[in-house]
Each structure stands twice: as C-alpha cells, then as structure tokens.
Amino acid sequence: MGTMLLRILAVLGCLMMMVLGAEDFYKLLGIRKDASEREIKKAYRTLSKKYHPDKNPGDDTAHDKFVAIAEAYDVLSDEETRRIYDQYGHDGIEQHKRGGGRPAQHHDPFDLFSRFFGGSGHFGHGGGERHGPNMEVRVAVPLRDFYNGRQTEFTVEKQAICSACEGTGSQDGHVETCDVCGGRGMRIQRQQLAPGLFQQVQSMCDKCGGKGKTIKHPCPVCGGSRVVREPETHELHVERGMPKGVRINYENEADESPDWVAGDLIVHLVETDPQYGEQDHERTDGTFFRRRGKDLFWREVLSLREAWMGDWTRNITHLDGHIVQLSRKRGEVVQPNTVEVIENEGMPIWHQHLPEGVEEAYGSLHVEYVVILPDQMEKGMEKEFWSVWEKWRKKKGVSLDQANGRPEGPIRMPEHDEL
C-alpha cells in the first residue's frame, strides 16, 4: 500500500513539473487574459525584437525566449486555439495538434517574424537584406515633462503588413507566378524601326502590374496590396533634462512591406507652447518658464512701491511643485530689468551630459524684474507724493541739463559756405 502511494505521488510530481515547466503564454507575453488582438500583436512585436537572436548573439536563453514568444503568439492570435488554451492549457493545445486540428502555421519563428517586419526574418546585419525608408515624426510634450521626466505614449499612422493575409495579398494564401512575364514583372517587346532594323523595349508587365505574381482571390482587407494603413501606439520615455529636438530611435518601426526589412522610426522631441491645464500640477508658475539649454527664465512683475521701497516676498511654484521664494528687505531697491540668477533652480542636466562621477546637477533660474508704473492716481495721493518729492528735490535735487552741460537754447550751426 505504501509503495503504491509513493508511485502515485511520483507520477503526480512528474506531471506537476511538466505543467510548471511550460510557462503560461499570457505571462510570457506580459499581457492579461482578456487582452485584445491588438494588445497581443503589440506584445509580440516588442518582445520578438528584444529577444531576436540577431540582437543577442551567442545568448541561448534569448534564442529560446524568442522561440517561446513565437509559439505563444501563434496560439493566442488564433481564436480557436486561444479558446482551447484558455480551457485546457498546454495539454489541450498538444492534443489539438495530435488530433488533426488546425496545424501550426508558424513552426519557424523567423518566418513569423518576417510576416511582421518583412525580409527573411532577420535584421539584415550581414548586408544582404533590403531596408525600407526611415520615418521621422515630431512629438511635442510640455516643458514640465522635460523637467520631471515622464512615461507616456504616442500614436503614428504607418504602412503595416496585412495580418489577414499575412502579406500574401491572397485570401486563400495562393499566389501564382505571372505566366506573361515569368515572374520578372517586366516584359521585353521587339519593335521594328525600319526594314531589317529592330529595337527591344522593356516595359512593365500589364497583367501583373509589375509584381511578377498574380492572385485569383485578393484579400478582402488589403485588396491584394499586401499592406494596410493603420495607427500604431508606441511607448515614449521622456528622460529628465532631455534637450529639445533630441532624436529617439525606434528600430524597425517604420513603414512595413513583405519586400523589405522595415526602417527605423525616428522621433524628434519638441516642446509645446505653454498653457494652463485643468489639473493642479498643470497650473504651476513653471508652466510659463522659458528654457535655453540647461537654464530657465522667468519674468517677475513689481509695483513701483516694491521696486523702490522693498519689503516684499513672492512664492513661485516650480515645474515639480516646489517653491522658489523671491524677496527684498525694506529699503532694497530693484532697478527695472535687473536679472537675478538663482543657482540650481534651472533644468536638470540630462544624464548623458553629466560629468563622470556626478549623479545629479541643475542649471540656473534667471529672474528678470519688470517694474510697472501707475498710469493714474487719486487726487489726494498725487498731492501727497508731489509735496514729498518737491521737498527733497529743492533740498538735494540736481539739474541733469546743467550737470551734463546741455545748453538752454538751440545751437547756431555755421552757414554752408563756412563748412
């Protein structure tokens, strides 16, 4: 009885090890079990590029991961096999294959990769692959994101390989070589120029449209063109202190085609015009800072009394919400257009521009003071101010005309013949 129990436990242990050894497809792709078809596709695109053997030479772990990701996508991208997997797991998929169910169409993970990115399933590092053109786009973010850093997303419309026909252009997957041009896409015709004189002219094959192949049943989604236009969302990581106009490269994310390896998507990061937002963190004074390199600039307005007499305090909310306090004691005069430089209150310096051994540094905040004079006063106020100023003018006043030697009247200029 004891021996039988041990055998049963051993069998159960082996089964448990088999179940644990096969990683869950959803966890493998990093998605939820209710993930949409678009989310599954996006996860495969990201992970297959990350673990592609071309990017991880000599790394067997990355190669195995690349193969497993292809298998997970193959199962979850099909409605029938996904339903079987959700209900019966890996065992259900194996039984489905052995029982004559839908055969796996992507045994070769490189073939699946090529259906997404074109080419032969490789990045073409050997130089034999044809690369498509790069795409360049501008993405605008507020100055706040350059200061604090932010993880966000942006969407671009691009040409993508049709997933319905997997880039064949055919509804049933059958593509035939053109019987007119023999697959060359071009026809050579012989034209007579004169008796006994002929010329060969090469022109595009009118039957296949220069493609070299014909399709009897075009794909209803792409119309046989093999590609479609669709929006695609990418993650955007704005690092603290990134300079305006920095170029961020997304490898192989440009327009796709079955005929080439997709080029790169190049994002130019620019700054949006300042404007108040609806949320509290979008309504700081820092929203209207101006940036020049690592320094920030701010214009502060003072009244005549504040500029002349002092005794004032200002609290400026910075881009991350902390307070920068400006102040003058009583009797401290601020001349119009004076610029005060406050160290370490500018932009954080991008980590790529930091000196070696320095983990964090900031530029300066330049505060320009603008003095606003009153354009009207009450009669009593005007009378009091005039009497005070008149008293001190008579006591210590200086005539600038006399001090500078300026004449009281016009100067007589010599006649023309005297010049």
Output the DSSP codes for 345-393.
Answer: -SPBPPGGGSPTT----B--EEEEEEEE--S---HHHHHHHHHHHHHHH
Residue 223 has pLDDT above 90, yes or no: no
The answer to whether residue 104 sits within a structural domain is yes
84 and 134 in a single domain? The answer is: no
C-alpha to C-alpha distance for 121 and 71, rounded to whole angstroms? 15
Instruction: Using CA atoms of 243, 247, 248, 253 in order, give the dihedral in degrees to the nearest 10.
Output: 160
- Residue 382, in any domain of the structure: no
Same domain, residue pair 299 and 365: yes
Q: Which of 219, 244, 273 is the last residue of a domain?
A: 273
Same domain, 287 and 336: yes
CATH number where 307 lies: 2.60.260.20
Tally of domains within the chain: 3
Mean pLDDT of the chain: 84
Same domain, residue pair 39 and 90: yes
Q: What is the mean pLDDT of residues 90-99?
A: 80
The answer to whether residue 18 sits within a structural domain is yes
What CATH number corresponds to the domain at position 97? 1.10.287.110
| Confidence band, pLDDT 50/70/90 cuts, at residue 203 | confident
Question: Which element (helix H / strand E) includes 299?
Answer: strand 295-303
Grade residue 10 by pLDDT with cuts at 50, 70 and 90: very low
Instruction: Please report which confidence band the pLDDT of residue 120 belongs to, taking 50, 70 and 90 as the band edges.
Output: low
In sequence order, the β-bridge partners of residue 191 are 199
The arithmetic mean of pLDDT across residues 284-300, rounded, is 96
Helix, strand, or coil here: 190?
A: strand
- Whether 167 maps to a domain, the answer reads no
Q: Are 339 and 166 in contact (CB under 8 A)?
A: no
pLDDT in tens, 364-408: 999 999 999 988 888 898 899 899 989 988 888 888 888 888 988
Q: List CB contacts of 83: < 8 A, sequence separation 6 or more.
A: none
Question: Quick check: 5 pLDDT over 50?
Answer: no
- Kindly state whether residues 154 and 241 are assigned to the same domain: yes
Please check whether residue 174 lies inside any domain of the structure. no
Model pTM score: 0.72
Angstrom distance (rounded) from CA 178 to CA 301? 77
Highest mean pLDDT among 109-113, 145-149, 193-197, 411-415: 145-149
